[in-house]
Amino acid sequence: MTGRQTDALDRLFSAYGLDVPDGPGAPIELTGLFGRTAPVVLEIGSGMGDTTAAMAGADPDRDYLAVEVHTPGIANLLDLVERRGLRNVRVAKGDALELVRRLPPGSLDAVHVFFPDPWPKARHHKRRLIQPAHVALLGSRLTPGGVLHCATDWAEYAEAMRETLDADPELVNPHAGFAPRPAHRPVTKFERRALLAGRPIADLIYRRR
């Protein structure tokens, strides 16, 4: 990590971060976590935090809970939170599914899964985040009408995502296929590299019934 990131992690994690322990634990109370009552967006796999910070800054009426396992990414997002004066961001360190299990049903306005690991080898597909049991869990935490928004640059995973999401009885696809790229989702460095390499980007946007 850079010196700035290390400093941000040391100073800010206690105020803006939370550790996600393994195994059973107490539910996470979102109003207490953010200090207010507002719709909450869960960002799974926030990477270096640029997308989370940009979206939270443009959307101050909603709270953003980012979850990531990569310490430099967590530290970088904390640094962005301080430098941009963001009051509506919290950063969780640990396993995303363990975090989701601790959230109350119907407590999320949206879940974002942007460019998750595609695990391209067939023997690793079971590690993918977007699979039926995980989608059912994510959907259960959405409020009725809440949005599950996924994006990927891996064509085979995009098709597998669509098949899985279409099969979930609690989700509906208002676009009848892949969604147009929404203007509110920032273009990341990762996405630019994918486009330069000729990999098309697929957005999948579903709503809970």
Task: Consult the annotation and say whether 170 binds a ligand.
Answer: no
Closest CA to 52 of 76, 31, 24, 26: 76
Amino acid making up residue 111: V
DSSP state of 183: T
The pLDDT-based confidence of 10 (bands split at 50, 70, 90) is very high
pLDDT of residue 122: 87
pLDDT of residue 188: 83
Task: Consult the annotation and say whether 126 binds a ligand.
Answer: no
Q: What is the pLDDT of residues 133-162, one digit of tens each?
A: 999 999 999 999 999 999 999 999 999 999
Task: Consult the annotation and say whether 79 binds a ligand.
Answer: no
Task: Consult the annotation and say whether 191 binds a ligand.
Answer: yes
pLDDT of residue 190: 82
pLDDT of residue 167: 97
Task: Consult the annotation and say whether 98 binds a ligand.
Answer: no
The residues, ordered by sequence, that sit 6+ positions from 118 with a Cβ below 8 Å of its Cβ are: 128, 152, 154, 156, 157
The pLDDT-based confidence of 119 (bands split at 50, 70, 90) is confident
Question: What's the rounded mean pLDDT across residues 96-105?
Answer: 96
Spatial contact of 150 and 165, defined as CB atoms under 8 Å apart: yes
The residues, ordered by sequence, that sit 6+ positions from 95 with a Cβ below 8 Å of its Cβ are: 20, 22, 69
Question: Annotated catalytic sites, by residue?
Answer: 117
* Helix residue ranges, H only, the chain: 3-16, 30-34, 50-58, 71-84, 96-101, 132-141, 155-167, 189-196
Q: What is the pLDDT of residues 158-207, one digit of tens each?
A: 999 999 999 999 999 999 899 999 999 999 888 999 999 999 999 999 99
Give me the chain's average pLDDT, please: 95
Task: Consult the annotation and say whether 7 binds a ligand.
Answer: no
Beta bridge partners of 89: 64
Dist CA 176 CA 203 (whole Å): 12
How many CB atoms lie under 10 A from the CB of residue 186? 14
Closest CA to 65 of 10, 20, 23, 22: 20
Question: What's the rounded mean pLDDT across residues 100-119?
Answer: 96
- pLDDT surpassing 80 at residue 23: no
The pLDDT-based confidence of 26 (bands split at 50, 70, 90) is confident
- pLDDT surpassing 80 at residue 25: no
pLDDT of residue 180: 96
Tokens found for residue 2: 């850079």
Global pTM? 0.95
- pLDDT surpassing 90 at residue 29: yes
- Alpha carbons within 13 angstroms on the beta-carbon side of residue 195 total 8
pLDDT of residue 147: 98
Closest CA to 89 of 127, 24, 38, 133: 38
pLDDT of residue 153: 95
Query: Which domains does the chain carry?
Result: 3-208 (3.40.50.150)
